[in-house]
């Protein structure tokens, strides 16, 4: 069983967090939710919350096969924490996969991982990706050097099956 970490913060996108969490579990990942604070995180719509199980700073001590950054407004806050950026870089260096959903491309940019890399995300982050030297691709599934990205939750019907196939191809998922 692979290990997946879903990283979020206040004002997360409800669909992107909850759908991702349960989809990862369906794929057989031991899945944990992390944040930079141990408290209830509120969704951007204010109608849902999520409880982190581990601090990002503590997650740095573990090896993750997959780290998922859902969107909403949370990535704009998360990218200000060095341990979040370090987690993204360490995951890639360790042979894991980093998933960026919607506005989470901001984390890839702030971690210094966009330069020369194909990425996608919400149209609201495209200029930031380009300004960081990234190559914007308007597709539901984009993979480049272990960074996998998607535009929004609307792409999930195409994105998740392709991600599952990619993870099997890399040997992270069995079957």
Measure the CA–CA gap between 103 and 126, rounded to whole angstroms.
Answer: 9
Q: Which residues lie below 8 Å from residue 138, measured CB to CB, with a gap of 6+?
A: 120, 151
Measure the CA–CA gap between 108 and 23, rounded to whole angstroms.
Answer: 22
Per the residue annotation, which of 23, 79, 103, 151 is the catalytic one?
Answer: 103
Burial class for 94, CB neighbours closer than 10 Å (0-12, 13-18, 19+) = exposed
Is residue 121 within 8 Å of 151, Cβ to Cβ? yes
Per the residue annotation, which of 68, 97, 102, 109 is the catalytic one?
Answer: 102
Residue 102 among the catalytic residues: yes
Residue 103 among the catalytic residues: yes
Q: Which residues are catalytic?
A: 102-103
């Amino acid at each position: 069983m692979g290990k997946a970490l879903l990283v979020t913060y206040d004002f997360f996108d409800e669909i992107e967090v909850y759908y991702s969490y349960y989809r990862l579990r369906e794929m057989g990942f031991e899945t944990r939710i992390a944040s930079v604070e141990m408290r209830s995180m509120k969704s951007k719509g204010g109608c849902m919350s999520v409880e982190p199980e581990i601090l990002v700073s503590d997650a740095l001590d573990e090896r993750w096969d997959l780290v998922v950054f859902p969107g909403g407004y949370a990535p704009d806050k998360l990218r200000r924490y060095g341990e979040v950026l370090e987690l993204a870089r360490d995951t890639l260096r360790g042979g894991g996969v980093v998933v960026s959903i919607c506005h989470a491309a901001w984390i890839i940019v702030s971690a210094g991982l966009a330069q020369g890399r194909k990425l996608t995300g919400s149209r609201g982050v495209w200029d930031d990706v380009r300004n960081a030297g990234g190559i914007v691709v308007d597709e539901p599934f984009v993979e480049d050097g272990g960074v996998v990205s998607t535009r929004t939750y609307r792409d999930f019907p195409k994105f998740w099956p392709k991600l599952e196939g990619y993870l099997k191809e890399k040997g992270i998922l069995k079957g």
